[in-house]
Amino acid sequence: MPTEPAPLSPAQEAELTQRAAQARQWAYAPYSGYHVGAALLTASGKIYDGVNVENAAYGDSICAERTAAVKAVSEGEREFVAIAVATEGGGAPCGSCRQVLSEFGLHAQVLITDGAGQICARTTVAALLPLSFGAADLA
C-alpha cells in the first residue's frame, strides 16, 4: 500500500500549478466553455498533463484530471503524489475524477487553482472523497 507522500515543496507547487494553467489552453470545450487543465505528479517524479475534451454526445466527454490519470497509467505509473487543477473560477474535481484518482493515491495532494494561477485550496483525494470505494471493498 502506498505511503502518505511528503508535503510538496513551494517549487513543486509552482511547477504543478503552472503546468496545469498552461495545459488549459488545449482544452476542447466548445459546448460548456469551461476549460480545465491538470498536471499530475507521480511517485516516479514525472508530471502528466491533461485537459477536458468535450463531445457533442455529452457522456463521451472526459475531464482533465482523468485525461492526466489515463496518460500516466498508460505509461506504467501506479502511484499518484499530487495533482493541480486549473479552472477560471477554482472548481474542484468532479466525483468521477475523485474516484479515478483514489485508485492510485488516496493521500495524493490536490491543488485547486483559479484563472489567475492562485491556489484556492490545498487538500487530498481522501478529503475530497470520504468513505471512498476501493479494491478492499471488493474482497
* CA 123, chain centre distance (Å): 12
65 is catalytic: yes
Task: Yes or no: say if 50 and 27 are a contact pair by the CB < 8 Å rule.
Answer: no
Whether the CA torsion 106, 133, 138, 136 is positive or negative: it is positive
Catalytic residue among 13, 54, 65, 77: 65
Cell numbers for 49, please give them: 498533463
Catalytic residues: 65
